[in-house]
Structure 1
Amino acid sequence: MTIKTAIVAAGFAVTATLGAAQDLDLSGKTVDYVIPFSESGGSAKWANFYAPLLSEALPGNPTVVVKYMPGAGSTKGANWFQAQTWEDTEGTVIFGTSGSTQFPYLLGDPRVRYEYSDWNVVLASGTGGVAYLPPAMAEKLDGLDASGLAGEDFIWGSQGATRLDLVPLLAWKMLGMNVEPVFGIKGRGDGRLMFERGEANVDYQTSSAYLANVTPLVENGSAVPWMTWGALDENGDIVRDPTFPDIPTFKEVCEATEGCNTSGEAWDAWKAFMIAGFPAQKMIFLPKGSPDWAVDAYTEALNKVLARDDFAEISEARLGVYPQMTGKGAKNTLTLGTQVPAEAKAFVVDWLQEDYGVSLK
């Protein structure tokens, strides 16, 4: 499947299902909506947005509770979910992933014990990411040109080099920045807290966390939005993020900065992993062995959520303006998020070894 085909296919947001809900009754039950991150990041914002809506839409109106299982950059929670089965859970456990779960899988991280093809995707959410700086660093920018940052020393809180954070890590490198990552934080929210405390002087957040937690920092003058990772048009080209149309993309910043190129191996690798990590950013799964009728019941419930008259309004405020996909669209997005070209993977594996001593060979 080409990038263009996958993007176009993923645009079909809702697939109708019939006759599914009566086969699943969750009356009086609690559904554990597990995410492999802390309660302070974008995944938590996303999960807590969907949890009450799912409670209203699922047959039997169960209580949907978000539970957090951070650790090892999300592989701890994902490995746990791999051991769950339909027989043991019967619709009472769902799992929410992000690009930070996909990247270790894509890179062959030895800690990965999970297999996406065993799981049953019922929702895929696209998102974006926004990088921001303290005012003193933002003053060193010359319009889009980031050359003034090249001589500065940066500290950044990161979940790990093989997580979604590799997208900004590679962007910092391409811009010629000297960034020392502090690896091991449990979620992007912890990176934001480092920024707020003055322990870090560059950061990025996914859109939902940026809208909720960084916008107040921008409003009080302690953070300046710098660039987004962008979005994809129907041809697979990087364009401005529809949630943040006034903020330039990394592509624009790179084109304006001497030494940063939007062609070649580094750019191709950055773009491939950006696509795998952001347009295909967050997904909800039922565990392995889930019967088709159960997958259809969850899909029907999510379709009801997406069809709400107020969904566009409430989701824009909490999640931003991005596709929310079920059915075939979700499956195509899963493909987009769990496959990258071999050349891009090889480049990233070599770069991680050379710059951070991370061995994935």
Structure 2
Amino acid sequence: MQNKSDITGDYTISGRAYVGCDFEECCVEIVVEEGIIAEIEEKKKVPERWIFPGFFNSHTHLADTVAMDAEAKGSLSELVAPPNGLKHKILRETDKEVLKDAVSSSMDYMLNSAIFGFCDFREGGKEGVLTIKKAMDKKEIFGIILGRNGGEEISDGIGISSTKEGTHVITEASETKKKGGFVAIHAGEKNNSDVDQAIDLKPDMLVHMTHATDKQLKRCVDENIPVVICPRSNHILGVSSSSAHPPVGKMLEMGCMVLLGTDNVMFVQPDMFSEMSFLSYLYGTDPKEIMKMSVSGSEIFKNPFFIEKGNVAAFFSVIPGEYNLRFSHSPLKTIVKRMNSGLIERTYFKHIKK
């Protein structure tokens, strides 16, 4: 699959851009130098083009691409819990070159859908982390890899399935933090019984919180712990059946920093447009909040994709006149509710390794 971005070197692009973390609509010319937004100059007249920041997928399991739409029956634990869940059996039985190809293919899918960064929970120890790093090689994508079972030693940190795994994960999380690594934990996916212990570990991020209580959410606010929600995955895996779980409205009302992820490629395509649309229609979440959830993960990892001077150039363009999008009264709402990768004119991103 070929990425829609063929932009190299310095360039300018003009249009109606959605600038900053508040997505202020401005008619501008954006000047990019060496992959960085050098200037954003307001213009009276610009081409009819929408320019939006690209996305950061805050929770993925990309290696699970090899189990895509496999025959899957049973409880959440029987399907995905380590070490003997169905997905883990498939991962163990798959040749590492096939795994690398699967991960690479899902990265290409994300890049063509304006997802320029992701945070992946990677099973398989050190070899698992090396597999995904090799897949990332020579791709213009910003990846944060969280290993486990030894993989945390050669990655950006640790991705813990649940504190229910045992006391060893508590030790591993503590050791990772001491070494300056990032700690993320699945919590509250099936019920809230593992949430308090997860918060006690003072992680850098919690994933799911599908059944978190108000008290637990307040702890996240007080301790400044971002929460990643994965609503499509929650519904497909049967841990949610309504807009009450995850409690997105309460999270936002209480002041949680909420991020959006697509979770497990075994069940859900790593497509932020689909995730945003699902969140909008089923949960009724404000489109600006949804867009912020879809971009802000990049800020957590100190590589913000918001369209601002000094930030990395990470955006995509749409020509609304080529489609029925030209009738939109709110481009931001339209992008959240109706967009798909086929409507993208071009993506703009070059990963600047720091």
Q: Please, what TM-score do these two structures have when normalized by structure 2?
A: 0.28
Question: Whose helix fraction is larger, Structure 1's or Structure 2's?
Answer: 1
- Higher relative contact order, chain-length normalized (CA < 8 Å, sep 6+): 1
Q: Please, what TM-score do these two structures have when normalized by structure 1?
A: 0.28
